[in-house]
Homo-oligomer: A and B are copies of this chain.
Amino acid sequence: MFFSPLCAVVPANAKTASENNLERPKGPQKEESMPRIILASQSPRRKQLLSQIGIKNFEILVPGGEESYDPSLSPEEIVSSICRKKGESARTLAGDPSAIIITADTMVFLDGLRLGKPRSREEAFSMLSALSGKTHHVCTGVTVSQGSRMETRAETTAVTFRPLTDTEKWAYIHTGEPFDKAGAYGVQGPAALFIPRVEGDYFNVMGLPLALLGEMLAGFGVKLFSDEEELH
């Protein structure tokens, strides 16, 4: 297990490093002194985003679990509830009470309607047609757990599409981009051309709200950007 210089892990209740014998190692860090960090998600975008914030090594674990939910709930409640279930399933699978487990679930909502991953080109076309010229909302639930402690929060970002021509929709579908993505688009690819405006956390639209995750991880003792020893 190796953390980049940006990332130091200390117990959430630590008062000083010396009290806990957990001073940051100078060289390659010892596995013993670090909890495992597990990303319970298969999304390549989420892996990339963890890496972006300085968590270079982590394990991937894919929890099972159904995605059923009570449709009367709000978008934030829905993603939170699914994410919490995934988190519980991942915690059981991991079987390590010291591991920090990150789970996330992202959904796209347009006028109260949920847009999942398109199963055909025609469905992708319908989704892109629905998004065209409108503002929709991307909600991600994030669950962080360690042993019996589990926290879940949700983030919503508004995304505005410019009006699309049918030619543009089909050319975009032809790239294959829509098929593993809720709402039939990926903001980090050429669909950027369609999106003149987001309001909220951009990375949330990619599947993981990084500022929120950083705040949650800090509560679990994973301090990103706290490399005091290398200051000045």
Interface residues of A (CB under 8 A from B): 5-6, 49, 52-54, 121, 162, 167-168, 170-172, 174-175, 187-190, 192-203, 209-212, 214, 224-228, 230-232
Whether A192 contacts B227 by the Cβ 8 Å rule is: no
Whether A198 contacts B196 by the Cβ 8 Å rule is: no
Whether B225 contacts A172 by the Cβ 8 Å rule is: yes
Whether A210 contacts B193 by the Cβ 8 Å rule is: yes
Task: Give the shortest distance, in Å, between A110 (CB) and chain B (any CB).
Answer: 19
Which 5 A-B residue pairs are closest in the complex by CB-CB distance?
A196-B211, A171-B225, A193-B214, A168-B225, A192-B210
A225 and B190 in contact (CB under 8 A), knowing A171-B6, A200-B197, A211-B162? yes
Specify how many copies of this chain sit in the oligomer: 2
Residues of B within 8 A of A175 (CB): 5-6
A230 and B53 in contact (CB under 8 A), knowing A190-B224, A211-B196? no
Residues of B within 8 A of A190 (CB): 6, 52-54, 224-225
